[in-house]
Amino acid sequence: MSDNENKLLDRLSKDVVEKVGSQDIASEVIRFSHFDKEKELKAIGYDDPDVLQYINESSDYMLKQGGGVKEATQEDVLAAINAAKLRIVSSGITKDKKAVFILGLPGAGKSSALKRISDYYGGIQFLPIDSDEYKTGLVDDNGNLLTKPLQDPKLRGIDVEYIHRCSTILAKAVLEAVTNNFYNVALPKIGDNLNSLKKMMSDLTRRGYTIYIHFIFTTVETSLKRNLLRFRELARENPAGVRLVPPERIIEIGYSPLANFLQIVDDAQYTECALWDGERCEAGKPRLLKSWGK
């Protein structure tokens, strides 16, 4: 870590103690300043041959392709919107103009925490709009799933940028269609891009939405472990849906989402902010640490 990075972590740890009152989280933030990337990734298992092969082949494919791939089609967009409409009906989602942002590192349990957050608001149902949900259904011109099934070498290393780009387009289209009709939505986000978050929140506020921001805390180490665990589980049970966030990306993100969340708390522009502990809890059942507003 550079001196500047260490200063930022030190400042963040003090903010956590002052605003959240959690010495445990503050200690984890400070401990990250001594993070040994090579040692930690090896201890977790990122040096396993199958993991290295997946990462390297994805990178090699991108270098060869140069990004020359098709975009999501109108048919893809319509299919995603129609699926969202069916989900709205089956889940009993209502038009209350409420949007809940669920922030946290990869593997924090953002999607599984939605039930807990729904209960927190008295059982209000939200339509989750997560670009990850659209990644497993994308196909190329030959009908092959674009998600690197491990059992087929010909499909390994498919353009990960294409998958990300298309799934993002689909998620945006669904969000536009759903919020035009004022349905409640849940938006799981990492939260490392503060400007992007604020833009989305401002856009929804202009549409008359009430905004709630929830942060699910996990350590960087836990995020790395759960990321690898999900990769291995999918490789075994659902190879077509296998994915792995590059571990270097998780380390690069670090605790910036937590810092951004606390800045949002300081802004005090939204109805409620809440911080949950996703580290020391049962799976899918984060523990509320503190809330602001409401």
Domain membership of residue 242 as a residue range: 35-293
Write the pLDDT tens digit of every residue in 205-247: 999 999 999 999 999 999 999 999 988 887 777 665 667 888 9
Joined tokens for residue 230: 């999900």
My answer on whether 120 and 150 are in the same domain is yes
Q: Are residues 70 and 146 in the same domain?
A: yes
CA–CA distance, 233 with 203 (Å, rounded to integer): 37
Are 143 and 284 in a shared domain? Answer: yes
Q: Are residues 275 and 200 in the same domain?
A: yes
Answer yes or no: do 168 and 284 share one domain.
Answer: yes
> Tens digit of pLDDT for each residue in 10-63?
999 999 999 999 999 999 999 999 999 999 999 999 999 888 877 766 554 444
Beta bridge partner(s), residue 214: 102, 274
Q: Say yes or no: 124 and 214 in one domain.
A: yes
Residue in the structure block whose two tokens are 């589980």 = 233
Q: Are 81 and 59 found together in one domain?
A: yes
Same structural domain, 3 and 134:
no
- Do 30 and 75 share a domain, yes or no? no
Domains held by the chain: number: 2
7/153 same-domain check: no
CB 77 within 8 A of CB 175: no
Q: Contact 257/103 with Cβ under 8 angstroms?
A: yes
| 13 and 138 inside one domain | no
CA dihedral angle for residue 189, residue 89, residue 112, residue 78, rounded to 10 degrees: -40
Which of the residue ranges 5-14, 76-85, 98-107, 136-145 would you say has the lowest mean pLDDT?
136-145
Q: What is the CATH number of the domain that holds 142?
A: 3.40.50.300
Q: How many CB atoms sit inside 10 A of residue 132's CB?
A: 16
